[in-house]
Chain A
């Protein structure tokens, strides 16, 4: 039964991967602007132009080019950046640890605090605390990420505010330098995700707390903490896992895009922004395709994880 489930889901994930690569390839390579004059030097002969066009595959039919690109992609060859001439995979491999170090604290804290606040609000449903937490999260939902970043930078990194942290840049050579540079981005990420996370976890927990087993456990004298951190959390595990896993690609790319552009941090987001603004096709193509592929893989992992966390799924 499990084998059949695994096979079916993997097959579906494979079809999604095919769709995603088809979409990005069609958009950025097939319909995208002609790269010949982007790459060729001045005063080139018609023969040189023809040679480059043949190398880029412009004389081939769609499916040949798509297949060729898929084979390259699968072997990890992402081409060379138009801008710097550097290998795209080296570029991304250098940027990824920076982004991971940048978003990890905010991501973890955002989920943990969101979970705690959500559980607390659901437990005290209808109380003043619940209404305060809900009000705060609606306010959080109504703030744009950009506004939060600008406001935090103004308050914490400029002489008009406290001026405690550097406004731009990134250093990871010592813990102190890392903390100095990661604090403001972490706060920004926290503020923008906390509202969504709290509401989500509150809704999940509120449904669970209405169930009879909770009432029974309370009647037998279970303390709120043991109840919330034990059976209630365990029964909420499936939506929690799904949410945490699903938000990984979003935070890695969409979250870092704005943070890194704004704070001048050399991670994936900055690489993507540079590729967008300079029209660097190989880099942008690699980022879009790899992010989408990561999302498909994460979706698959989430389904397996939920299957493990929820025994009911194992019944025929």
Chain B
């Protein structure tokens, strides 16, 4: 099938803008990850806070590194963080939410909902801080904290949707011909929550990127390399000296990326609402 969600996205002007933004930034990020772009990000030079020039589009930072190259690599990092956290959180949310909805009001449901309630009670920054403390810092703590915090919303939504679908005729028919519950859940129920998962995926992506920025600023995010959060943390020093290159480059990339994702999420959400409205 020509993916239906793409058509939904393309239908509204906002969705189109969002798609284009994500596509363009994604292209830049993948070229950067493949080593075709932004390779000068860590090479220093003697020109601290160099002027904007043809070779340095956003000038250089304190160590004389090219800010434009660093922004490219940081954008690639943002995609990596976003993808990893989104895949983890959505997969866990779909599985546990599906299980809880299918076995509604029995012990699997109670366990999953209790776990979600516990994790929802700890704000993600504090969970990240606690994990970083337990592990002695490191990226793993950041990823784990975000996945543990973000799967719960998806799980609640999938659970509600599975509970709604469970009573419908096609599920009753599948049960009547003796399909095992696990198979009904996997083949018939979870695919029907796809629209929901897509909206949740784009929102989780946004949350992951935003959280990375703040965690890296607080010193419990990425350890090495360069990310939008680390660039902004660097910018806080530069700004007091009047150098705006880091700030403009990092916040510009961040804004365009988040705007693209938010617009796409909105367009998908509207499409889903329209599809569900008649029933």
List CB contacts (< 8 Å) of B207-244 with chain A. Answer: 210, 213-214, 217-220, 229, 232, 235-236, 239-240, 242, 244
Q: Are B123 and A146 in contact (CB under 8 A)?
A: no
Query: Is residue B134 contacting chain A, with contact meaning CB distance below 8 A?
Result: yes
Residue on B nearest A147 in the bound complex, by CB: B251
Count of interface residues, chain A, beta-carbon cutoff 8 Å: 51
Query: Is residue B133 contacting chain A, with contact meaning CB distance below 8 A?
Result: yes
CB distance from A188 to the nearest CB of B (A): 13
Measured CA separation A194–B119 after assembly (Å)? 26
Query: Is residue B255 contacting chain A, with contact meaning CB distance below 8 A?
Result: yes
A contacts with B: majority SS: helix
- Neighbouring A residues of B263 by C-beta, 8 Å: 138
* Contacts A288-B129, A295-B121 known; 5 new A-B pairs at CB < 8 A: A143-B255, A147-B255, A150-B232, A281-B133, A295-B123
- Neighbouring B residues of A19 by C-beta, 8 Å: 114-115, 117-118
| Partner-A contacts on B (CB < 8 A) | 14, 114-115, 117-127, 129-134, 136, 206, 210, 213-214, 217-220, 229, 232, 235-236, 239-240, 242, 244, 247, 251, 254-255, 258-259, 262-263, 266
Pick the contact of A296 from B121, B206, B218, B242 — CB < 8 Å? B121
Pick the contact of A158 from B117, B119, B220, B239 — CB < 8 Å? B239
Q: Are A277 and B219 in contact (CB under 8 A)?
A: yes
Residue on B nearest A24 in the bound complex, by CB: B130
Measured CA separation A153–B120 after assembly (Å)? 32
A32 in contact with B133 given A139-B259, A147-B254, A276-B220 (CB within 8 Å): yes
Q: Are A160 and B130 in contact (CB under 8 A)?
A: no
A250 in contact with B254 given A16-B117, A144-B213 (CB within 8 Å): no
Measured CA separation A143–B250 after assembly (Å)? 12
Q: Are A27 and B121 in contact (CB under 8 A)?
A: no
- Neighbouring A residues of B259 by C-beta, 8 Å: 138-139, 142
| Partner-B contacts on A (CB < 8 A) | 12, 15-16, 19-20, 23-24, 27-28, 31-33, 138-139, 141-147, 150-151, 153-154, 158, 160, 167, 249-250, 253-254, 257-258, 261-262, 272-273, 276-277, 279, 281, 284, 287-288, 291-293, 295-296, 299
Measured CA separation A144–B121 after assembly (Å)? 23
Pick the contact of B130 from A28, A147, A273 — CB < 8 Å? A28
Q: Are A27 and B131 in contact (CB under 8 A)?
A: yes
- Neighbouring A residues of B258 by C-beta, 8 Å: 141-144
A to B CB contacts below 8 Å, 22 in the list: A16-B118, A19-B114, A20-B118, A139-B259, A141-B262, A142-B259, A142-B262, A144-B213, A146-B232, A147-B254, A150-B235, A150-B251, A151-B251, A154-B244, A253-B123, A254-B123, A258-B218, A279-B133, A284-B133, A288-B126, A299-B117, A299-B121
